[in-house]
């Protein structure tokens, strides 16, 4: 057992290591908070912050989450909730991609938007929020739009990609780059009371779900807007999907799409 | 011939969600879309008997046509 491992084992109470002990260990051994977290989980111990994860996610699973990278494309309604939940879940690296600043019309639904940070870049606010929640998580901000041209670079090293975009054209480009790189993609989209979720695993192609029937198809969100609860709901389904894909457990929604109607509380599964 | 037309999400506003309709032989999905006043630009997936179809698909007696809007927001 290394000195660090002996130190951590001595600090464990009922298999848990508190945040303050984790911080002490990182200062004492000149390691990052994340490096200490990996050592804790490697010993089969659990950072106390994850104690309510334990019945759902094993220490080995928690370590897999810590070692994974999730690319979140879009940091608005869906992306804000996705980033928050990934950080609390303990995903070690989040690549956040969005060129925009917070504006007043984001306040009704975007978790990371506050009156105080109007005018701030969304990815910058995301980095600050993640740092406040969980210092084991590195948020890598990319203040740019995703495109077919920069996609390979932005998605490089990602374990899973989360589609939190706001337009169909870029969604189709994102899905194509994910197919090419064989990276699992969790798609989510919303409009008003309605949402949809589908996961594209390597070998799948979800582009038919993202294409309009007519020429120049336009999502109905421009008419319906988006209230606070729809992005929170769909983002949570997306994070559950990303979690399962990283852990290699459960059944992702591959080869099918869930269409959610929160107005009439109807859930439809489309299989193609 | 009779076709069951099922509309989803926002397409239900001001329309009947599920309806058995009489159409002449040769009616296409596009004809039904026009008859129901559903804006083509807002349509995402269309299914006939749970299979993905395009607007030019000709319908048969007893078909179930489902029309979903394109959701693009994030």
Structure confidence by residue, pLDDT tens digits, A118-146: 999 999 999 999 999 999 999 999 999 99
Do the strands A16-17 and A46-47 form a parallel or antiparallel pair, or are they unpaired? parallel
Instruction: Give φ, ψ of A175 to 5 degrees.
Output: -60, -35
And the tokens for B69? 């809007």
Q: Which residues are within 8 A (CB) of A248 and not within 5 positions of it... i.e. 6 or more apart? A: none
Q: Which residue of B has its CA nearest to A75?
A: B74
Q: Which residue of B has its CA nearest to A234?
A: B74
**What is chain A's mean pLDDT, rounded?**
96
Q: At what angle do helices A33-42 and A19-28 cross, to 10 degrees?
A: 110
Return the pLDDT at A253: 98
Closest residue by Cα to residue A246 from A161, A182, A164: A161
User: Taking CB atoms and an 8 Å limit, are A217 and B42 in contact across chains?
Assistant: yes
Identify the DSSP state of A219: -
What does the alpha-carbon distance between residue A206 and residue A211 come to, in Å, rounded to a whole number? Answer: 9
Domains of chain B (ranges; CATH) run 2-69 (3.10.20.30)
pTM for the whole structure: 0.96
Q: Which residue in the set B8, B9, B70 is minimally distant from A212, CB to CB?
A: B70
Alpha helices in chain B (DSSP H): 29-36
Architecture of domain A68-271: 3-Layer(aba) Sandwich (3.40)
Which residues in chain A touch residue B8, judged by CB atoms under 8 angstroms apart? Answer: 259, 261, 268
User: Taking CB atoms and an 8 Å limit, are B71 and A195 in contact across chains?
Assistant: yes
And the tokens for A30? 């000149």
Q: Is the dihedral of CA A211, A213, A215, A216 positive or negative?
A: negative
pLDDT mean over A59-82: 98
Per-residue pLDDT for A1 more than 90? no
And the tokens for A14? 């009922």
**What is chain B's mean pLDDT, rounded?**
96
Per-residue pLDDT for A27 more than 80? yes
User: Taking CB atoms and an 8 Å limit, are B10 and A168 in contact across chains?
Assistant: no
pLDDT mean over A54-63: 95
User: Taking CB atoms and an 8 Å limit, are A196 and B71 in contact across chains?
Assistant: yes
């Amino acid at each position: 057992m290394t000195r660090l491992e002996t130190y951590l084992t001595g600090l464990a109470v009922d298999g848990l290591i508190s945040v303050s002990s984790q911080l002490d260990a990182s200062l004492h051994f000149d390691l990052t908070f994340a490096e200490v977290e990996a050592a804790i989980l490697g010993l089969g111990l659990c950072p106390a912050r994850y104690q309510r994860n334990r019945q759902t996610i094993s220490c080995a699973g928690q370590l897999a989450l810590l070692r994974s990278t999730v690319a979140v494309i879009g940091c608005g309604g869906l992306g804000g909730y996705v980033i928050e939940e990934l950080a609390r879940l303990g995903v070690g690296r989040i690549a956040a991609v969005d060129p925009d600043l917070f504006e007043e019309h984001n306040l009704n639904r975007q978790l990371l938007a506050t009156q105080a940070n109007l005018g701030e870049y969304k990815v910058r606010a995301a980095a600050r929020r993640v740092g406040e929640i969980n210092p084991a998580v590195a948020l890598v901000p990319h203040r740019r739009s995703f495109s077919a041209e920069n996609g390979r670079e932005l998605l490089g090293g990602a374990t899973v990609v989360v589609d939190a975009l706001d337009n169909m054209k870029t969604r189709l480009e994102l899905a194509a780059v994910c197919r090419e790189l064989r990276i699992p993609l969790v798609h989510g989209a919303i409009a008003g009371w309605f949402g949809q979720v589908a996961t594209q695993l390597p070998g799948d192609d979800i582009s038919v779900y993202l294409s309009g029937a007519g020429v120049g198809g336009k999502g109905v969100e421009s008419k319906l807007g988006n209230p606070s609860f729809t992005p929170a709901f769909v983002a949570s389904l997306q994070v559950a999907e990303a979690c399962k894909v990283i852990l290699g457990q459960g059944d992702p929604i591959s080869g099918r799409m869930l269409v959610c109607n929160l107005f009439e509380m109807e859930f439809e599964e489309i299989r193609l | 011939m009779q076709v069951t037309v099922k509309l989803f999400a926002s397409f239900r506003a001001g329309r009947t969600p599920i309806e058995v309709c009489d159409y002449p032989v040769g009616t296409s999905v596009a004809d039904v879309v026009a008859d129901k006043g559903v804006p083509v630009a807002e349509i995402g997936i269309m299914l006939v008997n749970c299979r993905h179809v395009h607007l030019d698909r000709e319908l048969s007696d007893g078909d179930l046509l489902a029309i979903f809007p394109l959701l693009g927001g994030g």
